[in-house]
Structure 1
Amino acid sequence: MRERPISAVPKPVLLLLALSFFVQISWFLAQPSKIAKAEDLMPAPSLSTLKITSFGEPIAMAKGMMLYLQAFDNQAGRNLSFQQLDYIKLEAWLTRILELDPAGQYPLFAASRLYGEIPDENKQRRMLDFVYRQFLLDPNHRWKSMTHAVSLARHRLHDMPLARKYAHAILLHATSSDVPGWAKQMEIFLLEDMNELQSAKILLGGLLQSGQITDKYEYRFLEQSLTELEQKIKMNP
C-alpha cells in the first residue's frame, strides 16, 4: 500500500499529534523532583512522527529536542550525570536531531565535546563512532567535529590507529577548499608520532604535489617539514 503524503492527513489530526508530543515532554519536565535514572530518557520519536509534528518547521523542532536533551541531566533535584545516560537512546536522539536539521553542527559538538569526554571508554568509543559515521555523510561541512574526534582518540583513548583512521578520513573525504590545511595534515603528524616516518613522508609529498596547498607560507612550512622528515629517516633508517 502506498503511503499518503502528510498533506493528505486532516489538519485536526496533525494538531492533535503535535499537541500530544509537546504535552508529553512538558508533563515529563513538570514532574516532582526525584533522583534521576538513566532509563528516564524516553526513546527518540520516529522521524516520520517528528516530521508530522514539526508542522513544516524541522529546524525549530530539532533545536527544541536538543534543548530537551541537554536539560535532561540538569533539572531541579536531579543528579544524573552524562556517564549514567543510556547512550543507545542518546545516540538515537542525536541522530533524529541531525536528520531534522542536517546543517546543524551542535549535535556533533555535543557528541564529541560533552558526551564523548566522560571516563567510560565504551561510551566514548560509541560517541566517536557516531561522529565518524555522521561525518562521512557530509564531510566538507562536518570536518570540525572530526578533528576533535582525532584528538579524543589520541589523547583520551590513547588509540593511535583509531586516531589515524579518523585523520585519514578527513584527508580523504574533506576535499573542499574551505577545509583548512591543518585539518588535512593531521594524519601526517600522527604518523610521525607513531614513528612511521616513511609513510608520513609519502603522504606529505603527495599533499604538496596535489595542488591543495595554495598558501605560499603554508607550502614552505610543509616543504621544511618534508626536509626534516627526510633527515630523520636518514638518521633512523
Structure 2
Amino acid sequence: MPFSIKMIEIQDVQGVSPSSALSGQPAISAEALRFSYSRAQQPVINIPQWRVGAGERVFLHGASGMGKSTLLQLLNGQLIGTGHLSVAGEELSQLSTSERNRFRALNIGTVFQQFNLIPYLSSLDNVALAAMLAGQSRVESTALARSLLNDTWLAPNLWCQRAEALSIGQQQRVAIARALINAPQILLFDEPTSALDETHRNLFMQVLIRHLDRHQHTTTIFVSHDTRLTSYFDKSVCLQDLALDFVEGEIKNAD
C-alpha cells in the first residue's frame, strides 16, 4: 500500500536535523569541481571555483548540452564529482548515499525537467509526502500541500488525481509545490516555467519571489533559457564562462 511505503521512507529520515542557517559562509562552495559520465569522456563539468552566498538568487544559463542539469544534480547530491563541493555547509562527497538522501529531504528543494513524481500517488500526496519526510505530521503536511497547490494554480479538482493522469504542465506545478513545501535552504530549478504560458509564467515567478522574500536565507539556482527572467535574480551566470575559466587556467598552468 502507498501509505506503508510512506511510513518506511519517513522512518529512514528520523533523527536527521536540517542544517542551520549559514552564518558568514557561502551556501554553495565549489573548487576544482569536475564530473564525467565515463572515464573515456571529457568532463561535462569543469569549475575551478564558484561561491554562492546564503540567500543569493542566481539565474544560470548556457547552451543546451553544456551540463546545466548535471550541475544541478551535483548540487542536489544525486551525482558526485571530484574536487570540492560544499552545499549548505555539508561536503556532499563525505556523506553516504542514505545521508545524502536525508540531507536532501531536509535542506534542498528541486524541480528537474523530469519531475520524479510518484505516479500512483495523488497530487496532494506527492506534495505532502515531502513534508512528512521532513518530520511534519500528516495533518500539517496536507494543509501545507493544499496551500501550495493553490498558489501554483492547480485546480482543486486535480488534487486527488494520480500524478500519472496529469498533463506535463500540471505535473510541473505539483513538482514546484513539492520543492517549496519545506522552505529549504537551497532551491534548485531546471527550466521550471518551460511548460507555462506567459501569464502563468509571470504568476509563478511572483509566487516564487514572494516565497523567497519571506525566506530570505534561501539560496536559489534557477536554470532557464528564458533570459527575460533575469530581472528577478541577483545575478546571472553563464555556465560556459565557469568552464572557460577552468580551461584557461589549465592552459596557463601548462605554459
Q: TM-score, normalised by structure 2?
A: 0.24
Q: Which of the pair has the greater relative contact order for Cα pairs under 8 Å at 6+ separation?
A: 2
Q: TM-score, normalised by structure 1?
A: 0.26
**Which structure features the higher share of helix residues?**
1
**Which structure features the higher share of strand residues?**
2
